[in-house]
């Protein structure tokens, strides 16, 4: 009698334990799923905004028989998709000039005509992304480390058209973008340049480190990148010129008076251009 009572007790205990474990598991499973769903929808919203901006810019700015500068980053991928569609549908004749290894790959993979600044030093329109855009259309670029070639190609173009999602639209530089202003430097000069910028303008320069390689990021030009966490709002034209004059600086990610038009994809799926 005692034996069967104990057996009943043990079975009940096991049942309770199994139920408890199952509900804990199911709670944590549901939590992860709903959490990742939430995250996914934010990402989807941003991707849609990038795509809408890119489509708007390519529809508006690309003409037949033109030389086009192709920027770098994730938003430009959507512009390339739209460009390929238009080339096929409208039989457009365009030559694409890359701003990075990534852009060159995109042009080649999409079987568009590839040019360079030696064959085509004059560009009709460059389309590129940005990390931040202020009210005067001053840009921070170089989040992807391609700022130097991007600036060279942009400077050769009649028009620089920027495509960005709504998170890049700011009143002033540094309002939303917290990763600083990228500055490409000759490797041997990274420390003197870092000290000089601190002496001249304050803030902190951080040597950008690689994620899947030991040591610093090495640009398409074989250089390093300093991300300058600047102290506040300044006269970006003056600051850009002063930093560019420091020996060892190749280029800054400050694009002052360069952007002709900016297309922002908004969270509600619409596009505005400034």
Residue nearest to ligand 5RP (CB): 73
**Closer residue to ligand 5RP (CB): 177 or 196:** 177
Min CB(139)–ligand 5RP separation in Å: 8
Size of the site for ligand 5RP (CB under 6 A): 17
Alpha helix segments (H runs only) across 127-250: 147-155, 190-201, 236-244
Binders of ligand 5RP among 51-90, rule CB under 6 A?
A: 71-75
Applying CB under 6 A, which of residues 56, 115, 142, 174 lies at the interface with ligand 5RP?
Answer: 142
Tell me how far apart the alpha carbons of residues 253 and 150 are, in angstroms, rounded to a whole number: 9
x-or-dash pattern for ligand 5RP, window 97-136, by CB under 6 A? -------------------------------xxxx-----
Map tokens 């050769």 to a residue.
156
Min CB(140)–ligand 5RP separation in Å: 8
Binders of ligand 5RP among 150-169, rule CB under 6 A?
A: 150
Kindly give, in sequence order, each residue whose CB lies less than 8 Å from that of residue 145, ignoring residues fewer than 6 positions away.
182, 184, 208, 217, 219, 220, 225
Per DSSP bridges, beta strands 157-165 and 261-265 are parallel
Min CB(255)–ligand 5RP separation in Å: 9
Q: In what order do the strands lie in the sheet with 271-273?
A: 113-114, 94-98, 66-70, 123-128, 157-165, 261-265, 271-273
**Closer residue to ligand 5RP (CB): 66 or 167:** 167
Tell me how far apart the alpha carbons of residues 229 and 180 are, in angstroms, rounded to a whole number: 4
- Verify whether residue 150 is a known catalytic residue: yes
Catalytic residue among 47, 85, 150, 175: 150
Long-range contacts of 195-199 (CB under 8 A, 24+ apart): 196/246, 197/226, 197/228, 197/243, 197/246
Min CB(21)–ligand 5RP separation in Å: 43
Decide if 221 contacts 148 (C-beta within 8 A): yes
Where does this chain bind ligand 5RP (CB under 6 A)?
Answer: 71-75, 128-131, 141-147, 150
Q: Which are the catalytic amino acids?
A: 150
């Amino acid at each position: 009698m005692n034996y069967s009572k104990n057996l009943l007790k043990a079975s009940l205990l096991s049942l309770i334990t199994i139920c408890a474990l199952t509900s804990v598991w199911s709670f944590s499973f549901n939590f992860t799923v709903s959490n990742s769903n939430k995250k996914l929808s934010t990402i989807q919203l941003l991707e849609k905004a990038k795509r809408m901006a890119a489509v708007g810019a390519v529809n508006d700015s690309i003409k037949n028989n033109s030389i086009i500068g192709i920027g770098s980053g994730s938003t430009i991928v959507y512009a390339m998709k739209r460009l390929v569609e238009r080339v096929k549908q409208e039989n457009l004749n365009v030559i694409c000039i890359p701003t990075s290894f990534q852009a060159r790959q995109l042009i080649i993979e999409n079987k568009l005509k590839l040019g360079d600044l030696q064959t085509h030093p004059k560009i009709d329109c460059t389309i590129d992304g940005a990390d931040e855009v202020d009210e005067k259309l001053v840009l921070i670029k170089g989040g992807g480390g391609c700022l130097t070639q991007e600036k060279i190609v942009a400077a050769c173009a009649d028009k620089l058209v920027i495509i960005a999602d709504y998170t890049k639209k700011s009143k002033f530089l540094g309002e939303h973008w917290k990763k600083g202003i990228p500055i490409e430097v000759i490797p041997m000069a990274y420390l003197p340049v870092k000290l000089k910028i601190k002496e001249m303008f304050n803030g902190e320069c951080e040597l950008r480190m690689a994620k899947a390689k030991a040591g610093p990021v090495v640009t398409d030009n074989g250089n390093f990148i300093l991300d300058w966490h600047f102290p506040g709002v300044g006269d970006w034209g003056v600051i850009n010129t002063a930093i560019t004059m420091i020996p060892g600086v190749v280029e800054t990610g400050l694009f002052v008076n360069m952007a002709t038009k900016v297309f922002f994809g908004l969270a509600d799926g619409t596009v505005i251009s400034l």
